[in-house]
Amino acid sequence: MNTQELTSRLLRAYGRTYADEAGITLRDTPAPLYQLLVLTVLCSIRIKADIATAAARELFGAGLRTPRAMADSRWQDRVDALGRAHYVRYDESTATALGEGAELVLDRWKGDLRNLREEADREPSAVRELLQEVPRIGPVGADIFCREVQQVWPELRPFFDDRTCETAASLGLPHTPRGLGRLVETEELARLAAALVRARLSKDAVSELRAA
């Protein structure tokens, strides 16, 4: 199987972004960017990705789609929404982090993460640093956000973190951001990054894809 065939197979099997799974129609506008930040917070602990995306859908279904709505919500309502998605053990601390993060977004960036982007002068490294000022988001969380937001923030492209590059190498694909970026059209970069993450998390994906 050549590189292009393997890439196509990878995208077909695993190429759904986590934003899409969480019900986020990603655009460069305040609400969906904030929703991606919420999803990033939920994914930034050791918990299964499907539970994190389910928790995001519960929060959004409860109307908590903007930093103002999140900040104004009751802590217990956030805990209850997380509980409905079986986001257990971390529900109380995460509910607190979401409330504090919403306040930060409102106070620091006027409720609009495009202002974070401008504060960073659209420099990828600066974007990552600023994201880590949000409660619960560390280097891994910053990578999660950047992998997905490259769909609408072109200065981040191609964004593939060390883990996705390692998975690409295990599949015999190019294993640098630039090399991976050449495999697909610009609009497919976030899908390819997500596919590599999902393949890494799947027990048999790498061996099955290499054997196909």
pLDDT class of 207 with cuts at 50, 70, 90: confident
Look up residue 23 and give its DSSP letter: T
DSSP state, 211? H
In the predicted structure, residue 47 carries a pLDDT above the cut 80: yes
pLDDT tens digits, one per residue of 70-85: 999 999 999 999 999 9
Lowest mean pLDDT among 68-72, 168-172, 198-202, 208-212: 208-212
pLDDT, residue 1, reads: 74
What span, in angstroms and rounded, lies between the C-alpha atoms of 114 and 49? 26
Structure tokens at 95: 């509910």
- One-letter amino acid at 132 equals Q
Q: What is the pLDDT of residues 85-105, one digit of tens each?
A: 999 889 999 999 999 999 999
- Note the pLDDT of residue 26: 98
Q: Amino acid letter at 193?
A: A
- The single-letter code of the amino acid at 64 is L
Query: What is the average pLDDT value for the chain, to the nearest integer?
Result: 95
Query: Cα 204 vs. chain centroid, distance in angstroms?
Result: 23
Predicted pLDDT of residue 202 = 86
Predicted local confidence at residue 204, as pLDDT = 78
Average pLDDT of the residues in 30-46: 97
Q: How confident is the model at residue 212 (pLDDT cuts 50, 70, 90)?
A: low
Q: Give the integer Cα–Cα distance in Å for 73 and 112.
A: 18
Residue 155 contacts by C-beta under 8 Å, 6 or more apart in sequence?
122, 123, 124
- Nearest to residue 94, comparing CAs of 73, 110, 78, 106? 78
In this prediction, residue 134 has a pLDDT band, given cuts at 50, 70 and 90, of: very high
pLDDT digits (tens, 9 = 90+) for 144-153: 999 999 999 9
Give residue for tokens 């986590």: 18
* Rounded CA separation 161/118 (Å): 22
